[in-house]
Structure 1
Amino acid sequence: MTYSHAELIANPGLLGAVRGLARRLRATYNDNPRIARLLSAHQKWLLTQAGMALNLEAGPRGFTVAQFRELVTLNGVASRNTVQNYLDQLEIYRYVEKVGAASVRPRRYRATAISEQTMLMWLIANLAALDALDDGSRAAEMMARPQLMALVQPRAARACLADKDWVEPPARVGAFLWTEAGALVMDEFISRIDDAHSQSDRIDIGFVDARALAADFMMSRTHLQRLLNKAAEQGSMGWHDDSLRSGMWFSRDFLDEYRTWQAIKFKYVNDAFLWAKEQADDAAFADVSETS
C-alpha cells in the first residue's frame, strides 16, 4: 500500500508505529551497542545510509572515497574530511574493508557482512513499523527475499538524503539527534510511551535515571543532563515536580513533531520497497519468458 506524507501523518496508527520502531531499535542497541551507534546520531545515520547505498550499488567492485564525498557533500551532510575520518573509523571496527591490492588507485571500499546484516535488520524494523499501519507483510517479505535490500536501501537512502526536511530535523528534534547517541536517547523516551493515543498535553514516561542511561549509551552524564535541561526549557519534556528524582513527561506537541519527521523516512522506505518488488518481479518474469 502506498502512502503520501500527509496520509502517514493522518494515520491514527503512526504513533504506535513510531513507538514500535523505537522499541525494536532499542533492543538492537542492547544486542550490539558498537554497531548500533552508527545510527545513533543524525549525521552518522546520514553517512551510514549514504555509504551503504554506494556499497550496494557498486557490488563487489566497491565504492571510492570520491564517490562517498560527492554524495554527502552534495547534500550538505558532512565535510570532505569528515567522510575520510568516518571511513577510517569503520575500517578500524571492521565494518568496511578495502577492496583489491594496496597499490591500486583509487582505493575502493566495501561493507563487511555484519554491516550489511545490520542494515537489513534496520530495514526490516522499519518495514514492520509500516506493517503496523495496515496489517501488511512487508517485513516478512523482506526476510524471505533479503536480496531486495540491494534495491530498497539505495533508493530510500538517496530519497532521504535529497529531502532537506529529513536532512535538517525540526530544531527541537535536532537538539537530540545531532548529538552523539542522541537518537538512542529519543528511542528510549519514545519506547516508554504507553498511552500513545492519549490526548493529554503531557505524556508520562516515568523516572529517568540520567546516570544509568548515560552509562548505558556510553555518553557523558553531564551532556545528557544538559540535553534534558534544554528540552525542559523548550517545553519538550520535563519533570512532574521540582525534584529531578520525580518522573518525567513528554509533551504531546514534541511527540507530534517527531512522528511527523519520522513519517518522511517511512514514506521513502515504503516507496522504495514497493518499487524494488516491482523491479524484481519484472526481472523474474523476463527471465522466465526468455527460457520458455
Structure 2
Amino acid sequence: MPLSAHTIATHPSFLASLSLYGDRLDGVYQANPRLGANFASHRRWLISQSALALYWGENGDLTVNNLIDVLKPFRVASPNTIRNHVDESVKYGFLQPDPAHKSLRPRYFAPSEIVCGAIGQWLGANFSVLDAVDGADRVSAFAARPETIPAIQSRLAWSCLYDAAWREPPPRVALLQKSISGGLVMDSIVSMAGRQACSDGRYLIPAINAREMAGRILISRTHLQRILRKVLEVGAIGWTGKPFETGMWVDHTFIDEYCRWQAVKAQHLDAAFEHVVAAGRG
C-alpha cells in the first residue's frame, strides 16, 4: 500500500532525504542549467510535466492546443504563456517535432533524449526519498524496468495536476516556488537545513552567495535578492548579521510547510510506483 502524505512528511528521515535529493538534482541541473530552469518554478513544472504526460498518453498527442486545454481548468498559466513555454522548449532542444506525426497543423511534439534521460534521473532521485522513509528498494526496482518511465511519469503528472494540495503550494513556500528559478533557491535552502539540527525553532545555515547562486541558476542577482527579501518579510528566513553576507536562519515551520507539500508529490509517486512497477512484478 502506498505511503500516506502524513506518514512521509512526519518521518524523521524525510528532511534529511530531501537534502540529499536537492544535492542530487543540483548535479543533474548543472549539467544543463536551462533544463533545470525549465523545472525551477512551479508553473513551469506543471506545464512541463503535463506536456510529457500528453506525449506519453495513448495517442501521443502533445500539441500546444491540447496542452492549453488540459491546463485551462486549473488556471496554471495563460494560453500565451503556454505557447511561449513550448516555443522556448523547442528553441533549447527540449522538445522536437514528433516523427510519429507528419501533420504541420497542428504541430505535434516529442521530448528530446536529453529530457527523457533527465526524467529518468529525476524519478530515481524521488524514489530514493521514499526508500529513506520505509527502507524499501524502489530505486533498484525502477532501475531494472526503465521502460516504465512513461507510465509512471504520466500517472504522477496527472495526479499532481488534479490535486490542489500540490498544485497550490503553501503561501510562504509559494513565494519561492512561483518565482523564476525560485524552486532551485528553495532546494538550496532545504539542502543546507537538512544537514543541521533544529535549535530554538530555527535551522542555522551558511550565507547564500547571491552572486554565485544567481549565475548558477540563470537569474539576476537583483531578482534573487528580491525574492529572498519577500521570504524574509514573512518571517521564514533571516540573517544572523548583515544581510547577504552573514549566516542565515530558517524557521522550522517554513521547513515543515515545505516538507508537507513535498510529501503530497511523494505520495502520488508511491501510488504510481505501486500501480506500474510493483503490480508488474506481481
* TM-score, reference length from structure 2: 0.93
Partner Cα separation in structure 2 for residue 249 and residue 56 of structure 1:
42
Give the aligned partner of residue 16 of structure 1. 16
Q: C-alpha deviations, 1:11-48, integer Å up to 9, x for none?
A: 22221222121111122222221111111111100011
Instruction: Give, as a single letter, the amino acid of the residue that structure 2 aligns with 1:69.
Output: I
Deviation of 1:244 after TM superposition, in Å, equals 3.8
* TM-score, reference length from structure 1: 0.90
Question: Where do residues 36-55 of structure 1 align in structure 2 (5 Å cutoff)?
Answer: 36-55=36-55
1:3 maps onto 2:9 in alignment: no
Partner Cα separation in structure 2 for residue 91 and residue 97 of structure 1:
6
Give the aligned partner of residue 145 of structure 2. 145
Partner Cα separation in structure 2 for residue 94 and residue 245 of structure 1:
38
Instruction: Give, as a single letter, the amino acid of the residue that structure 1 aligns with 2:19.
Output: R
Question: Where do residues 1-292 of structure 1 align in structure 2 (5 Å cutoff)?
Answer: 2-58=2-58, 61-100=60-99, 104-242=104-242, 244-281=244-281
Conserved in 2, the CA contact under 8 Å of 1:40 and 1:181?
yes
Show structure 1 runs of 4+ deviating over 4 A: 100-104, 194-197
Q: C-alpha deviations, 1:125-164, integer Å up to 9, x for none?
A: 1001111112221111111111111211111110100011
Deviation of 1:280 after TM superposition, in Å, equals 3.2
Q: Which runs of 5+ in 2 are unaligned?
A: none
Q: What SS does structure 1 have at the residue aligned with 2:56?
A: helix
Q: Which runs of 5+ in 1 are unaligned?
A: 283-292
| 1:18/1:103 CA distance change after superposition, 3 Å | closer
Partner Cα separation in structure 2 for residue 243 and residue 159 of structure 1:
40
Partner Cα separation in structure 2 for residue 245 and residue 199 of structure 1:
22
**Mean alpha-carbon deviation: is it higher for 222-231 or for 94-103?**
94-103
Quick one: higher RCO (CA 8 Å, sep 6+), 1 or 2? 2
Count, aligned residues: 281
Q: C-alpha deviations, 1:194-222, integer Å up to 9, x for none?
A: 54553531111112111221122111111
Partner Cα separation in structure 2 for residue 209 and residue 278 of structure 1:
43
| 1:124/1:243 CA distance change after superposition, 3 Å | closer
RMSD: 1.9
Deviation of 1:113 after TM superposition, in Å, equals 1.5
Partner Cα separation in structure 2 for residue 19 and residue 268 of structure 1:
20
Partner Cα separation in structure 2 for residue 243 and residue 263 of structure 1:
31
